[in-house]
Amino acid sequence: MGPARRNHHPGPNPAPDQDRFVYVAAEREEVAEARQYLKERGLSKTEASCFSYWTAPLQA
């Protein structure tokens, strides 16, 4: 798991309802986790962009 997940705050607090925009660029699995995290906190697709630029190599 990436650093964003290790520092994950499990609290139920939604993101504040105000002007905001989140941009995430990370490894494919980390982006999937970030999308889920943002969705659970009520951010819409117009408030966040998440892009995967690489895929981590498989661990043998």
Of the two residues 3 and 16, the one the predictor is more confident about is 16
- For the question of whether the overall pTM of this predicted structure is more than 0.75, the answer is no
pLDDT digits (tens, 9 = 90+) for 6-42: 455 555 566 666 788 999 999 999 999 999 999 999 9
Please determine, for residue 2, whether its predicted confidence score (pLDDT) is greater than 60: no
* Among candidate residues 39, 34, 36, 48, the one with its CA nearest the CA of residue 3: 34
Please state the domain extents for the chain: 22-60
pLDDT at residue number 54: 86
Asked if residues 26 and 16 have their Cβ atoms less than 8 Å apart, the reply is: no
The C-alpha R_g of the chain, in whole angstroms, comes to 13
